[in-house]
Structure 1
Amino acid sequence: MIREPIVAGQFYPDRKEDLENLIQSCFNHNLGPGSDSIESTEKVLGIVCPHAGYIYSGPTACHSYKAISSQNPELAIIIGPNHFGVGKDAATMIDAQWKTPLGMVQVDSDSAKQIAEISEFIEIDEYSHSQDHSLEVQIPMLQGILSNEFQILPIILRAQDMKAAMDVGNAVYEIAKKKNAIIIASSDFTHYEENSFAHQQDKSLIEPILDLDVDRFYQVLYEKRVTACGYGAMASAMIACKKLGARKGELLSYATSGDVSGDTESVVGYGSIKFV
């Protein structure tokens, strides 16, 4: 089965050359990390990445991708929220390739079958993946920065409460510990608030992420009513990365759509974080 792109031509260009050029310009944007290559021996176990249109969130996302650019993982485990609420509480898929303007990426069906057996929540269900952009927008970025062949393990979450995140995080750990894997949590932060308030809200939620403190993370999320869309994905990644040996998260970049566009009345927050 080929999973056709849903948001090519909307969130990112649908022509290969245009897409490559836009990714390059996101790296070189004044909010981006620059395109000079890095050689790092630091093992990054996971990243948090935004998933909006590239012109808004791409420069921020590139910070996370630059941090893993010299790692050459064989498997990218991408976890994101199900914005449309279709399908299962948590779903992966098998016997599939994801198509982007940059080519095809194979799903690791063996890992998908294993994780569906390990997890109480994750089921194999193509339909859950049929409408959403949260995983899709990460794939061209990976194709753009990784020089090696890699496979993906897509996991989309309709259930994002702490019980689901614990289950998914522990299951992801069981897969990742056996592979040269990178875990990617796809999430935006505050939605449709005034710019300075968004910065303030997101700073509060990012603090427990950097401490890998999942209990405090959910506490802040609920108490402050932070409207981060992929909170379960971030919590799952925190749990898995901590079990893999991560000691902390590091904030690489934070910006809002208002910081990019200048329209600060109603913004969306974007953060790039690495777990090391």
Structure 2
Amino acid sequence: MTTRPPAVAGSFYEASPERLREQVQSCFEANEQAASKQRFIGAVVPHAGLMYSGHVAAAFYALAELPRRFIILCPNHTGIGHFAAINREGEWRTPLGSVAIDTPLADALIANTRILGDDWKAHAREHSLEVQLPFLQKLLNSFTFVPLCLAAPRYSFCEEIGNAIAEVVASRGEPIGILASSDLNHYENQEVTLRKDQTAIDAVLALDPEGLWRVVDEDDISMCGFIPTTTMLIAAKKLGATSAKLIKHATSGDINRDYSHVVGYAAILIS
């Protein structure tokens, strides 16, 4: 069995199990306790270091009624590997333990689209999916997941992958969460970032994948995970999604008080 070791423990989040548990707990404590859990089809969650965006991600994880199976889509920041990389077997390890890849679910996705490539290299140093796992490990005794690292350069590729995800999820007859890992605008000032963030958020809230793809290009929004988010929206709509809720929106400036160069973060629940 192939085991992917943690790539960003000690940088994006604490490396020791005890400190990581405390760090994740502090992210949850930064939000009001949800009165009730909400079912979801898909979601957008951020992926910066937990010290910056963890409280935003935790706002989603605390609110959501979490299943035991997930398809997690992330961008490819490293430029390494296949442009639509899946892992079909093995496990991923964090300081909190190991999480198994859902091989039957991965194989079903591979069988439903010609685009996906089984490629560990694309995932080996990628942080944006890895940082989701400690939240799930904190809340769930056990779960499985399929990792997808996407740099698909065409909207049509997102359509094919999104449709394949929807078909596979629908055929399983059980809840499977579809998570898109993405930060929003990068390294402009607070005013510009809030405006650009809202443009992207509005497209997601409208359940408009084509609109998101368009405004990211036309408005020069440096949303690193717009490809995973577009793909998630396509899948969620095909699965019957009719609404989206912005749970939390913040920037790195809210943490370090440097508002001249900020990164935007949002947690959005699709149902």
TM range (shorter): over 0.9
Give the aligned partner of residue 48 of structure 1. 44
Contact 1:164–1:232, Cα closer than 8 Å, also in 2: no
Q: CA deviation at 1:160?
A: 4.6
Q: How many residues align?
A: 268
Structure 2 Cα separation of the partners of residues 94 and 215 of structure 1: 29
Query: Aligned partners of 1:231, 1:95: CA distance in 2, in Å?
Result: 26
1:118 Cα deviation from its structure 2 partner? 0.9
1:231 matches 2:226: yes
**Counterpart position of 2:123:** 129
Preserved contact between residue 251 and residue 262 of structure 2 (Cα < 8 Å): yes
Equivalent residue number for residue 13 of structure 2: 12
- In the alignment, what sits opposite 1:207? 202
Q: Normalising by structure 2, report the TM-score.
A: 0.95
Counterpart check, 1:158 vs 2:154: no
Q: Does the Cα contact within 8 Å between 2:41 and 2:241 map onto a contact in 1?
A: yes
CA distance in 2, matches of 1:14, 1:37: 28
Name 1:28's counterpart in structure 2: 29
Unaligned stretches of 5+ in structure 1?
A: none
Structure 2 regions of 5+ residues with no counterpart? none
Q: Deviations over 1:35-70 (max 9, x none)?
A: x36433x421111000000000001111111122xx
State how far apart, in whole Å, the 2-side matches of 1:160 and 1:255 are.
28
Alignment-derived partner of residue 248 in structure 1: 243
The 2-side partners of 1:159 and 1:256 are apart by: 27
Amino acid at match of 1:39: S
| 8 Å contact kept, 1:113–1:124 | no
**Cα distance in 1 for residues equivalent to 2:153 and 2:126:** 16
1:67 and 1:274 in contact (8 A); partners too: no
Query: Do the aligned partners of 2:210 and 2:230 also contact (CA within 8 Å) in 1?
Result: no
Letter matched to residue 236 of structure 1: T
Contact 2:88 2:146 in 1 (8 A): no
Runs of 4+ in 1 over 6 A off after TM superposition: none
Aligned mate of 1:144, from 134, 138, 147: 138
TM-score normalised over the length of structure 1: 0.94
- The superposition leaves residues 183-220 of structure 1 with CA deviations (integer Å, 9 ceiling, x where unpaired) of 11000000100011100001011111101111211221
Query: What amino acid does structure 1 have at the position aligned with 2:36?
Result: E
